[in-house]
Structure 1
């Protein structure tokens, strides 16, 4: 038995280790695939520059290590612009990148001489502009596009009417055409789309807002009153515009016999009736128009016939018990009126307390059973 358990544990451990190795291999493959991704030239250059700036931040508080730091600062110059710091930056360059990491390393080797030139002589210039735009010519300035870095429509202050993006902006690709934001259209995104209306306009700005959900096609203002046509599920009112159609009032009823209808804006939903109902007008056993088989109508509510019969029998038994107590009291103590009166009062008090607790427990099901004297007795 011990041998079998040992073998089983060994097999389990082998399976777990094997599964863990598979997950590790899969994760490694995913990382390698991400590292091998080829990015567009401008994006690749930007990734390299961002990595370089990140390493500059990391080494910002560094200094010469070992020996007399003050002497080294005096002889070798400031650490902030030293070759030592540049080497420390280049050692970690591209290390925190996942997507396009291999390309980043290759590009770093390719542009090493330009980075050295910038580091020692041109740190006053922006590195991205110096390297990606001016030197490698893989990017364009902001809001410029194409091989010749032409300005985007509306440059400099109103590119694409501030309601869209210039295709190829910042790169040496793209055609410079405007790609409009949702709700805008036109060559320069200077007008509202079909299902939007002009809610504000001045010389500097156009604001387009969506039409009401009841509108089919264009609209002239906010709300259902601005609709030109109504969507299905709505009807046109001359004063209030598109109003919702209450499908639940339509004849015949759109739902099945054992379902009830709930109206929504422009539509409706069919929900299942309570199990006590064969047909209903809403949720719950008190909304039945006809009780299901095995249920009976009692106090405007469909209740389980077996449960209702059981409760009736319990009530009859309880009242018969009370009557028996009263009769027994009268028979046993008929010769002693005083004692019979005390017993009678006690029985009456018991009946009153029992009925009170029974009534309370029916109204409040959270009442603790230990206090339900009547129910305890009747059970």
Structure 2
């Protein structure tokens, strides 16, 4: 019975894995089909076709005639670079490298096959491929900064389209209405006015520069500083003769921060930062800014210090002193029969203890239990 259940479970698991894999493959296939069937605007689709054709030219630019006598073939058939054989090779792979809109590319390539051949054989040296195919013959695109069905010039063409502060709607295509879409900071029909939140930093008959107002300003301003604001935004306050000044939310508004945090004022706002871990409440950063010490800490010289460090230091001191005492006692026991040798070793022990304590004192700021000055006063 157990074997049957195990087999059934394994079978169900394999079916689940197989179904999941099929679903993923089906989803991937659907996504690929959707990408291939994607439709672009007429001008964009023509550019995709042109780009694919140019990639084909790039791949075949180092090619040559296949045969035993290449020099004879060049004389009889002409240059491979402009040959029908190379054109056929390019056309055979045309649109295969296109992911989105591939079917539309194939359709357009079939529609414009004769125009592409005409350019290849007769106009390759005199006309740009995109201009010849998409603008002049297929009439799917317009020249730069022209728009609409009749390819009319954009406002300000050729040197000052939308006063160089925006873009012409439909430029380069046979779509759009030619109106200006202004860049950030500019407004108006021809983008020759400053938008709200910007001020005029330079202007003459042909050029306008707009710069952003200070962040203290609410809306328009007459210059770049907080004094030139016409109104103040949140977090700033108007002061006659001085313009907008920053409100100290921590002091003036008595802004409250979460427990065990302190307030820091910023321009137009404030932020709350966590207190040091030694603190239980604070008015600034660091263990010397605590209003009260946290558990496990105590105040010493206006700083909250970790009591566990002191306990550990005391324990280390006890062990160190015990080691010194044991060393002295052992020296006396072992060498009690030879008082001179005991004196020499005792002196060495004293030097060792003194130097050790002096090093500890230098690192911790404590008084050593022995002083180097007293070393010469040790009784012999």
Q: For this structure pair, what is the TM-score category when the shorter chain's length is used for normalisation? A: 0.7 to 0.9
Q: Quickly say closer, same or farther: Cα 1:183–1:325, change in 2 above 3 A.
A: same
Q: Distance in 2 between matches of 1:355 and 1:15?
A: 74
Alpha-carbon distance, 1:350 to partner: 3.4
Q: Quickly say closer, same or farther: Cα 1:232–1:348, change in 2 above 3 A.
A: farther
Which range is displaced more, 52-61 or 18-27? 18-27
Q: Distance in 2 between matches of 1:153 and 1:316?
A: 91
Residue among 113, 134, 137 paired with 1:135: 137
Q: Distance in 2 between matches of 1:338 and 1:286?
A: 55
Q: Quickly say closer, same or farther: Cα 1:324–1:110, change in 2 above 3 A.
A: closer
Equivalent residue number for residue 68 of structure 1: 69
Alignment of 1:145-156 (within 5 A): 145-156=147-158
Residue 216 (str. 1) matches residue 188 (str. 2)? no
Q: Distance in 2 between matches of 1:13 and 1:353?
A: 76
Alpha-carbon distance, 1:146 to partner: 1.3
Alpha-carbon distance, 1:89 to partner: 1.0
Q: Distance in 2 between matches of 1:104 and 1:313?
A: 83
Q: Deviations over 1:243-264 (max 9, x none)?
A: 3333233363522341111222
Q: Distance in 2 between matches of 1:323 and 1:127?
A: 99
Q: Deviations over 1:139-162 (max 9, x none)?
A: 222211112222111111111111
Equivalent residue number for residue 84 of structure 2: 83
User: Is 1:146–1:174's contact at 8 Å kept on the other side of the alignment?
Assistant: yes
Alpha-carbon distance, 1:344 to partner: 6.3
**SS of match in other structure, 1:262:** strand
Q: Quickly say closer, same or farther: Cα 1:321–1:251, change in 2 above 3 A.
A: farther
Residue among 206, 209, 212 paired with 2:208: 206
TM-score, scaled to structure 1: 0.79
Q: Quickly say closer, same or farther: Cα 1:87–1:262, change in 2 above 3 A.
A: same
Q: Quickly say closer, same or farther: Cα 1:310–1:100, change in 2 above 3 A.
A: same
Gaps of 5+ in 1: 364-379
Q: Deviations over 1:23-69 (max 9, x none)?
A: 55544433322111111111111111121122222222322221322
**SS of match in other structure, 1:356:** helix
Q: Deviations over 1:152-209 (max 9, x none)?
A: 1111111111111111111121111100011111000011111112223334432222
Alpha-carbon distance, 1:81 to partner: 2.3
**SS of match in other structure, 1:278:** coil
Q: Distance in 2 between matches of 1:154 and 1:45?
A: 27
Q: Quickly say closer, same or farther: Cα 1:245–1:341, change in 2 above 3 A.
A: farther
Residue among 187, 191, 194 paired with 2:193: 191
Q: Distance in 2 between matches of 1:34 and 1:111?
A: 22
Q: Distance in 1 between matches of 2:286 and 2:27?
A: 53
Q: Distance in 1 between matches of 2:109 and 2:29?
A: 24
RMSD over aligned CA atoms reads 3.7
Q: Deviations over 1:95-116 (max 9, x none)?
A: 2211111110111112112222
User: Is 1:35–1:100's contact at 8 Å kept on the other side of the alignment?
Assistant: yes
Q: Deviations over 1:116-150 (max 9, x none)?
A: 22222333222222222232222222211112222
Q: Distance in 2 between matches of 1:156 and 1:251?
A: 56
Alpha-carbon distance, 1:17 to partner: 8.3
Equivalent residue number for residue 172 of structure 1: 174
Alpha-carbon distance, 1:346 to partner: 4.2
